[in-house]
């Protein structure tokens, strides 16, 4: 096996695209086929409604972006994130949802095709990038990416994580092309434009600016400074041009957006049995959570690859791109005071770069021991796919063998679930069929106004059943185990009251519906994952 770096020779172009296309279709169809299995997450309605609003306004009045009043009305209330990811979700609705003009309703099942498509494109992109190390690298990159349960889980939700991960990875691939060209200006400009698209998706895209600076530094101070400046200038122009909200008050709106990363409502997270505010989480949270959330073979391969590439960095400077692209986000979220929560969701972007590193290292192994490299890849994929089957349909609750799976993670005090995906359609259907007509169901925790309405199904409406917010008297209580937000008295009731329906993964219940007695328990303090394990 040969490459144009230390790992071999690039597969010819005609042989690359059919394999990449096959992987894209496979990934898209796998995520699309299973898209209705997980429950709806708390962020999805906002992203879908905002995306529908953008597209509906554009279709009816394409020039609205040149009217300051229209821009303030459309983008102003939705400026906590840049618009690109929501545009992608909105156009998916436009193509699939007959009610695309109705910006007061949403169809999450149709909108979930957007992250499924991003997942397919991401798989093809990583395989394409890895193909410079040969055909085995091409196939192994796609297969290893497809065997990461948490990444597969995020491919089901109409949220910003998959569009961001796709754009961030595309920017790293473009940055690699710039490095290979020895900073030819046309490639630096292209890489900067790709970084601008990532910045237009979420604030995480700004991490590409220091990544580029690190990668350019080896070409000398003057050349590195010029290339980094050009890269940042192009990225900034794309970011500014793609977000009309910035046009009419550039300085004020830019400062407002950049400060929103820390000036925001506090989120609480359970970590190692303790409930922390997001800005007080220990520095090692991202490293521990990433290690705990990966299948053990992937983790071992990632560590071996990282150490190998650090050792070989002088001989293979290109490896600095995926190294910096994966390490810098983890370093950022390790800085004390930087908010971090929700498992690996905020740094999901590192997974494709980690796979890229694995494949570059495996290519060197295959050059000497082809059969050994194939066996390593086969074992890693098999363990990852077994984990995906084991965790289905709650892939965001997957934990690897390092911590003993989900059961071991909960014993250690890690969050079993956080986003509401464990409130599956099957769970709600089972309750609706068993509960009496007109029954009420209390949602715990309720994370925002109208959160309870997210889980109101058509069958419930037929039977005059209602889902009510936390604290309102109800016949039944639905608990999903976001440990930092579930009061201890509710947790005790969920573990002692008659169970009507539940979602269980690896022997751990993630969501449960119980019948309430005539006398409610007294309020108590919030429980932790360690307290609530059964």
Task: State which H helix or E strand residue 508 sits in.
Answer: strand 508-515
Q: Please spell the DSSP secondary structure of 300-360, one letter per residue.
A: HHHHHHHHHHHHTTTT-GGGHHHHHHHHHHHHHTTSTTS---TTTGGGTTHHHHHHHHHHH
Please write the tens of the pLDDT for every residue from 21-51. Answer: 999 999 999 999 999 999 999 999 999 999 9
Please write the tens of the pLDDT for every residue from 234-263. Answer: 999 999 999 999 999 999 999 989 887 666
Residue 454: Cβ within 10 Å count? 20
The helices-and-strands tally (H runs, E runs) of the chain is 23, 7
Please report which confidence band the pLDDT of residue 10 belongs to, taking 50, 70 and 90 as the band edges. Answer: low
Residue 13: Cβ within 10 Å count? 9
| Average pLDDT of the residues in 190-212 | 97
For β-strands 268-271 and 440-444, DSSP reports them as unpaired
Please give the backbone phi and psi of residue 521, each rounded to the nearest 5 degrees, phi first: -65, 155
Calculate the alpha carbon distances from 491 to 76, 155, 444 in Å: 39, 30, 10
Residue 365: Cβ within 10 Å count? 21
Give the integer Cα–Cα distance in Å for 392 and 156.
12
Give the integer Cα–Cα distance in Å for 515 and 475.
6
Cβ 420 vs Cβ 40: under 8 Å = yes
Cβ 466 vs Cβ 460: under 8 Å = yes
The tokens describing 454, both together, are 């997210």
Query: Would you state the pLDDT for residue 12?
Result: 54
pLDDT exceeds cutoff 70 at 518? no
Q: Please spell the DSSP secondary structure of 43-71, one letter per residue.
A: THHHHHHHHHHHHHHHHH-GGGGG-HHHH
Instruction: Report the chain's mean pLDDT, rounded to a whole number.
Output: 91
Give the 3-state secondary structure of residue 271: strand
Residue 260: Cβ within 10 Å count? 13
Q: Please spell the DSSP secondary structure of 184-222, one letter per residue.
A: -HHHHHHHHHHHHHHHTT-GGGGGHHHHHHHHHGGG-HH
Calculate the alpha carbon distances from 97 to 87, 121, 224 in Å: 15, 22, 48
On the question of a cis peptide bond just before residue 445, with omega within 30 degrees of 0, the verdict is yes
Cβ 290 vs Cβ 344: under 8 Å = yes
Query: Would you state the pLDDT for residue 126?
Result: 97
pLDDT exceeds cutoff 70 at 520? no
pLDDT exceeds cutoff 90 at 5? no
Query: Would you state the pLDDT for residue 129?
Result: 93
Task: State which H helix or E strand residue 226 sits in.
Answer: helix 221-241
Please give the backbone phi and psi of residue 479, each rounded to the nearest 5 degrees, phi first: -115, 125
Cβ 490 vs Cβ 523: under 8 Å = no
Give the integer Cα–Cα distance in Å for 145 and 128.
13
- Phi-psi map region of 90: left, alpha, beta (phi>0 left; psi -120 to 50 alpha): alpha
Percent of the chain at pLDDT above 90?
A: 82
Query: Would you state the pLDDT for residue 531?
Result: 32
Give the integer Cα–Cα distance in Å for 150 and 435.
33
262 compared with 153, residue with greater pLDDT:
153
pLDDT exceeds cutoff 90 at 358? yes
144 compared with 521, residue with greater pLDDT:
144
pLDDT exceeds cutoff 80 at 533? no
Give the integer Cα–Cα distance in Å for 356 and 144.
9
Query: Would you state the pLDDT for residue 97?
Result: 87
Please write the tens of the pLDDT for every residue from 461-501. Answer: 999 999 999 999 999 999 999 999 999 999 999 999 999 99
Cβ 323 vs Cβ 361: under 8 Å = no
Tell me 516's DSSP state.
-
Give the 3-state secondary structure of residue 441: strand
pLDDT exceeds cutoff 90 at 513? yes
pLDDT exceeds cutoff 50 at 372? yes
Of 519, 523, 430, 437, nearest to 478 (Cα)? 430
The tokens describing 509, both together, are 């219940």
Query: Would you state the pLDDT for residue 261?
Result: 64
Q: In what order do the strands lie in the sheet with 499-505?
A: 466-468, 440-444, 476-480, 508-515, 499-505
Please give the backbone phi and psi of residue 519, each rounded to the nearest 5 degrees, phi first: -115, 125
Measured at the alpha carbon of residue 435, what is the angle toward residues 433 and 436, in degrees to the nearest 5?
110
Please write the tens of the pLDDT for every residue from 73-132. Answer: 999 998 999 999 999 999 998 999 888 888 888 899 999 999 999 999 999 999 999 998
pLDDT exceeds cutoff 80 at 519? no
Give the integer Cα–Cα distance in Å for 305 and 356.
9
Measured at the alpha carbon of residue 96, what is the angle toward residues 349 and 451, in degrees to the nearest 5?
65
Beta-bridge partner residues of 442: 468, 477
| Average pLDDT of the residues in 366-381 | 92
The tokens describing 397, both together, are 């609750």
Angle between the 161-180 and 185-199 helix axes, to the nearest 10 degrees? Answer: 170
């Amino acid at each position: 096996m040969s490459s144009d770096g230390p790992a071999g020779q690039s597969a010819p172009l005609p042989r690359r695209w059919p394999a990449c296309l096959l992987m894209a279709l496979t990934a898209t169809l796998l995520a699309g086929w299973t898209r209705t299995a997980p429950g709806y997450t708390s962020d999805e309605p906002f992203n879908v409604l905002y995306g529908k609003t953008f597209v509906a306004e554009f279709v009816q009045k394409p020039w609205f972006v040149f009217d300051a009043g229209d821009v303030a009305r459309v983008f102003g209330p939705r400026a906590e994130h840049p618009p690109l990811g929501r545009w992608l979700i909105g156009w998916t609705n436009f193509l699939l949802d007959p009610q695309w003009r109705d910006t007061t309703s949403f169809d999450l099942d149709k909108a979930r095709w957007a992250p499924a498509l991003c997942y397919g494109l991401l798989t093809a992109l990583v395989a394409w990038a890895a193909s410079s190390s040969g055909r085995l690298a091409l196939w192994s990159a796609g297969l290893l990416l497809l065997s990461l349960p948490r990444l597969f889980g995020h491919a089901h939700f109409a949220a910003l994580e998959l569009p961001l991960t796709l754009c961030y990875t595309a920017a790293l691939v473009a940055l690699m092309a710039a490095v290979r060209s020895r900073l030819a200006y046309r490639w630096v400009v292209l890489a900067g434009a790709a970084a601008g698209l990532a910045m237009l998706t979420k604030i995480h895209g700004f991490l590409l600016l220091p990544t580029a600076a690190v990668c350019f530094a080896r070409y000398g101070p003057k050349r590195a400074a010029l290339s980094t400046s050009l890269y940042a200038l192009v990225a900034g122009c794309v970011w500014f041009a793609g977000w009309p909200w910035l046009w009419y008050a550039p300085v004020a709106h830019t400062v407002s957006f950049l400060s929103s990363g820390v000036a925001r409502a506090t989120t609480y997270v359970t970590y190692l049995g303790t409930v922390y505010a997001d800005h007080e989480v220990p520095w090692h949270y991202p490293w521990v959570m990433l290690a705990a959330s990966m299948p053990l073979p992937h983790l071992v391969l990632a560590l071996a690859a990282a150490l190998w590439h650090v050792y070989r960095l002088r001989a293979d400077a290109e490896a600095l791109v995926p190294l910096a692209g994966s390490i810098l986000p983890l370093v950022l979220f390790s800085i004390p005071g930087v908010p971090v929560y929700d498992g690996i969701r905020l740094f999901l972007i590192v997974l494709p770069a980690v796979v890229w590193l694995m494949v570059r290292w495996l290519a060197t192994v295959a050059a000497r021991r082809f059969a050994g490299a194939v066996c390593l890849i086969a074992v890693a994929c098999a363990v990852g796919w077994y984990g995906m089957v084991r965790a289905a349909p709650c892939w965001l609750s997957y934990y690897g063998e390092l911590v003993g799976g989900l059961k071991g993670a909960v014993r250690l005090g890690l969050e079993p679930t956080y986003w509401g995906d464990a409130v599956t359609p099957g769970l709600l259907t089972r309750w609706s069929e068993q509960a009496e007509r007109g029954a009420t169901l209390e949602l715990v925790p309720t994370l925002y106004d109208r959160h309870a309405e997210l889980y109101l199904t058509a069958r419930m409406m037929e039977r005059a059943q209602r889902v009510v917010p936390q604290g309102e008297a109800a016949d039944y209580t639905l608990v999903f185990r976001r440990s930092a937000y579930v009061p201890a008295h509710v947790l005790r009731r969920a573990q002692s009251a008659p169970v009507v329906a539940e979602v269980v993964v690896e022997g751990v219940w993630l969501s449960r519906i119980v019948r309430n007695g005539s006398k409610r328990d007294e309020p108590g303090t919030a429980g932790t994952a360690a307290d609530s394990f059964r």
